[in-house]
């Protein structure tokens, strides 16, 4: 495993990501970080997100039909995806160790490290907007 240097670019990318709860895309981060480092390149953002994920300081979220999103909170927790506006939010439910235990007892030949759960539906804003349209 190669050594990792503490570059200004990486520091700022991490700080910006930790400072938002919007679960942004690489491109959104690129735009934000450009305010601090105007000549940073998108490639650098991607490379650093890769490194930070490797170091388990952040996590990557993937969902059908959109680019990857990143979460500055590396702790396992659940997410909600709004099918209408694409917003991603944290879910206020504790991680279920029980699920992993249930998995383990049903499928004992497997080694399970954990699970990811994403809820989907309609966020409060979109729900309201839809009701008003009727």
Partner DNA sequence: GTACATGCAAATTATTTGCAACAGG
Partner DNA sequence: CCTGTTGCAAATAATTTGCATGTAC
Stretch that binds DNA, among 19-27, 99-107, 112-120, 122-130 (CB under 7 A): 19-27
75-104 binders of its own copies (CB under 8 A): 78, 80, 83, 91-93, 96, 99-100, 102-103
Nearer to its own copies, 40 or 45 (CB): 45
Nearest approach in angstroms of CB 51 to its own copies is 14
- Residue listed under structure tokens 């910006």: 16
Are the CB atoms for 61 and 88 separated by under 8 Å?
A: yes
Quick note: the x/- pattern for its own copies over 47-66, rule CB under 8 A, is -------------x-xxx--
Sort strands 79-82 and 69-71 into parallel, antiparallel or unpaired: unpaired
Q: Does position 47 bind DNA by CB under 7 A? A: yes
Sort strands 79-82 and 59-61 into parallel, antiparallel or unpaired: unpaired
Report the 10 Å Cβ neighbour count for 49.
20
Q: Does position 17 bind DNA by CB under 7 A? A: no
Q: Report the alpha-carbon distance of residue 3 to residue 11 in Å, rounded.
A: 16
Nearest approach in angstroms of CB 93 to its own copies is 6
Q: Does position 119 bind its own copies by CB under 8 A? A: yes
Q: Does position 37 bind its own copies by CB under 8 A? A: no
- Alpha carbon 88 to its chain centroid, in Å, reads 8
Are the CB atoms for 80 and 118 separated by under 8 Å?
A: yes
Q: Report the alpha-carbon distance of residue 52 to residue 114 in Å, rounded.
A: 19
- Which parts of this chain interact with DNA (CB under 7 A)? 2-10, 25-27, 37, 39-44, 46-48, 50-51, 65-68
């Amino acid at each position: 495993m190669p050594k990792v240097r503490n570059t200004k670019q990486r520091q700022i990318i991490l700080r910006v990501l930790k400072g938002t709860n919007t679960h942004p895309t690489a491109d959104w981060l690129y735009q934000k970080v450009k305010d601090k480092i105007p000549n940073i390149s998108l490639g650098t953002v991607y490379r650093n997100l890769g490194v930070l994920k490797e170091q388990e300081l952040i996590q990557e979220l993937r969902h059908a039909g959109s680019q990857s999103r990143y979460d500055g909170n590396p702790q396992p927790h659940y997410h909600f995806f709004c099918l209408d506006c694409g917003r991603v939010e944290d879910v206020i439910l504790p991680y279920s160790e029980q699920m992993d235990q249930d998995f383990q007892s049903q499928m004992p030949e497997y080694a399970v490290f954990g699970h990811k759960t994403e809820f989907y539906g309609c966020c409060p804003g979109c729900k309201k907007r839809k009701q008003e349209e009727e």
